[in-house]
Chains A and B, each alone.
Chain A
C-alpha cells in the first residue's frame, strides 16, 4: 500500500485544481439561470411522465395560480403570508451561517417563537391595541426563540458542543412540545374550549395581523413591508457596522479574530441570539397572520430557509430573490397541483433540490479553476513502456498499532512509517543515481526549476516524468526556446544552493524517524521525495558542468 501510493503520487496529476483570484460575476449569474432552466426541464419531463401538460402546469405554477382566477387577490395574500416567514427565517439563518455557526435549528426556534407569541396573545387578550399587541408578540416570540438558540451557542462556546447536532435535537424537542400542547393530557391553555377534540383555539382578535386595504379586495399584510425594511437593515448591519465585520472575521477564522482582539465568544453568543431572534419574530408574524397555532405551523421554513440562505450565498439582498423564487416554486406548485391532481405536490421539493444541487456543484467551478493536463496520458504510456524506476524503492510495509484507541496517535504512527519510507526511498535514489544518464537529467533541471518555485508543493512534479511536456511548458513560460549555456549554468548554480538545503531535508527526515511528531506537520511525503530526488540530480549535473 505504501509503495503503491508513493509511485502513484510521483505522477504529475491529470487534473490540477487552483484557486481563482476573482469570481466571474456573469459566470455565476449564468449558472443560476442555467440551474433553474435545467431543473424546470427535468421537472417538465417528470410532469409529462404522469400525462400532464408541463407548459400548462408551469404557467399555473409560475403565476401562482392568479391568471383566470376570480380570487387571485386571495392567492397573492396567501403567497405573501408564506413568503414573509421564509424571508425572515432565511435572513436569520444566513446571519449565523456567515459566522460558520451551523444553526440548523430554524424549525425549533420558529416553533418556540410561535408558542410564546400565541401564549402572549391569549394572555393579554384585549388589554393592548392591535399595533402594540403585534409588537409585544414579535418581541416575546423573538426573545424566546433567541434564548432557545442561545442555549446551543452557550454550549458551543463553553464546551465546544457540536452545534449542528444540538440544534437538530432541539428541533424535535420543540416539535413534540408543540404537539403536547395539542392534547387534553397537557394544559388546555391553547385549546378551543368548545370542541371535544383537542384543536388549537383561534387567537384573540387584537393579535390579528394588520393589513392595509388597497387595490380592490386585495389588502397588504404589513409584515411584508416590515420584512423588506428589515432586510435592508440586516444588509447594513452586516456590511457597514462593526458587528457585521466581526461576524465575517469570526466566520473566516476564529484565530484571526482572537489575534485581532475580538471577543469571539461574545460575537458568537450575540449573533446566535440575534439570528434566532429574527426567526422567532418571523414566527410571531406568521402566528398573527394565520390567527392560530397548528402542528405544521413552520411549513418547513426552518429547512427551506437553509436552502434559501445557501442559494443567496448568505447575502441579504440575495436572500430576498432566492426566497421569492423558492416561495413561488412551493406555493405555485401547491396551486398547480390542485388543478392537476396527477402531479404530486412534492414536485416543488424535487425542483428545489435539483436547483440547489446544480448551484452548489457549480459553486466549485466559480471558486476554483480546473486545469486538465492531457499530456498525462502520454507520459503514462511512456512510463509503462520503460521499466518502472520506482521499483528500486521497495520498502517494507508500515507497521502501526492497529488496536490502539487513540486515532491521532495512530495517524502519527502511520505517518512515521511513511516518512521512513520516504527517507529510504531518497537514500535509494542517491544510490541508483549512477544508472542515470547525465544528458537526460540536464533537461530535467531546466524544466524543474521554474516549476518547483511556482507550483504548490502537493503538485510538485517528480523526476521520472519530467520530460518533454514539462520542458515545453517551462520554455513557454520564459518565452525563450533556446537557452544559452551561460543561463543554464546560472540556474544550475542556484540549484546547487538548493541542494545543500535539500541535503538538510534528507538528514532531517532521518531524524524524524526517531521523532514522529514532526512528520505530521510536514508536507506530504511524496512531494518531499520528489524534491530531494530532483535536487540530488541537480548537484550531480552541476558538478559535471564545472
Chain B
C-alpha cells in the first residue's frame, strides 16, 4: 500500500467514525448555551439511534428514520427539560439518570426485542439512502478526495447542522437570546425573554440532534445489537469533553472532532500507517490506553487553562448547570 492510499484511508476513517461525535457535541452545545448541562448525551444517543434505526427498518424510509431519531432523542430531551426546567430538579442527577436509563432501555429493547424487528438488510431503500455518495471527479482527488467527497450523506448533514447551529448562536437574534439565557437568566428574564420557552426549545432540538448522531452510529455499526457495549460506547462522554475543547462553538467543534478523531483512529489504524510509512513505527509503542485517554487529558488541561486565564474569549456559559427559578433570583 502506498503512502497516498494509506493516508487517504486514514483521513477517511477519521471522518467516518467520529462524525457521530459532532452530532453529540453540537447538540450538547445547544443545551449548554441555554444553561443546561445535560450529562445524558450517552444515553440519549443510544436511545435516539436505536429509535431511528428501528423505525427506519420497519418503514424502509430514510426520512422516517431521521425523523424518528430526532423525535426519540427529543423526547428524552423533553423529559430532561420537564424535570429540570419546570420541576427544578438537579441537572447533573437527571442527566446521569437519563444516561443509565437510556442505556438500560437500549439493552432491554435491543437485546430483548431486537430480533423481532426487521433487519437492516431487509430495508434496501433505507440502507441505500445512507450509502457513501460519489461525487465523480472530486472523489478521485488523491488522499483527500475519498475522505471529503465520498462519505455518507449523514456526514455532510452533521457538518451542515454544526454550521447552522454556529451561525444561529452567533449571528441571529434568537441565538443572542439563547446565549443571554445561558449567561444570566435573571437579566434575560427582565429583558422579556421567555426563559422556559428558550430552554425547552434548545434542549429538545439539541437532544434531537444527538439522536441523529446515534442513528449514524447504528448504521456505521451495521445495526447489530450484538456485543456487550452500546453503539455509542462512551462517545457521549467524549462529546461532553469536546464541547469544552471547542470552547462552546459549534463550528470549532468540527475541527475538534477531527483532532479527537485523529487519536482514536491512530489507535485503530496505526498498523496500516506503519505499513506504508515505516518511520511511524513509534506509534505502536504508545499504549492504546493513552490514545483513548488523550481527549480527556487534553480537555482537562483546556478546562484548567481557560479557567486560570479567565480570558475574554472563554465561552463557558456562566449559568451552566444552574436552574433558574424566578422567585429565587
Contacts and interface: CB of A to CB of B under 8 A. Distances in A.
Contact of B307 (A160, A306, A520): A160
Contacts of B193: 414
Interface string A4-23: 01100000000001010000
A525 B192 contact: yes
Q: How large is the interface on A (under 10, 10 to 19, 20 to 34, 35 or more residues)?
A: 35 or more
Given A159-B308, A164-B37, A173-B296, A519 B92 contact: no
Interface string A435-446: 000000000000
Nearest to B321: A164
A403 B171 contact: yes
A166 interface: yes
A415 B96 CA distance: 35
A368 B323 CA distance: 15
B173 to A, nearest CB: 6
B198 interface: no
B72 to A, nearest CB: 16
A421 to B, nearest CB: 8
Given A456-B327, A458-B326, A520-B190, A357 B79 contact: yes
Contacts of A415: 187, 190-191
Contacts of A525: 190, 192
A162 B192 contact: no
B108 A350 contact: yes
A428 interface: no
B162 interface: no
A496 B100 CA distance: 60
A400 interface: yes
B182 to A, nearest CB: 8
Interface in A356-403: 356-357, 360-361, 363-364, 367-368, 400, 402-403
A61 B290 CA distance: 40
B176 to A, nearest CB: 6
Contact of A402 (B112, B173, B292): B173
Contacts of A166: 300, 303-304
A349 B101 contact: yes
Given A168-B237, A306-B93, A414-B180, A46 B108 contact: yes
Interface string A212-224: 0000000000000
A104 B296 CA distance: 15
Contacts of A245: none
B60 interface: no
Contacts of A412: 187
A519 B285 CA distance: 61
Contacts of B172: 402
Contact of A50 (B99, B112, B187, B296): B112
A356 B96 CA distance: 11
Interface stretch (A175-183, A229-237, A501-509): A175-183
A350 B191 contact: no
A1 B193 CA distance: 9
A79 interface: no
A19 B240 CA distance: 34
B143 interface: no
Interface string B225-242: 000000000000100110
Contact of B290 (A102, A180, A368, A410): A180
A403 B176 CA distance: 9
B328 to A, nearest CB: 9
Among all A-B residue pairs, the 7 with the closest Cβ atoms: A353-B101, A349-B104, A176-B293, A414-B191, A364-B87, A350-B104, A346-B107
12 contacts: A49-B113, A159-B304, A165-B244, A166-B303, A343-B112, A344-B104, A348-B104, A353-B100, A360-B90, A412-B187, A520-B186, A525-B190
Interface of A: 1-2, 5-6, 17, 19, 46, 49-50, 102, 104, 155, 159-162, 164-166, 168-170, 172-173, 176-177, 179-180, 183, 185-186, 303-304, 306-307, 310, 342-344, 346-350, 352-354, 356-357, 360-361, 363-364, 367-368, 400, 402-405, 407-408, 410-412, 414-415, 417-418, 456, 458, 519-520, 522-526
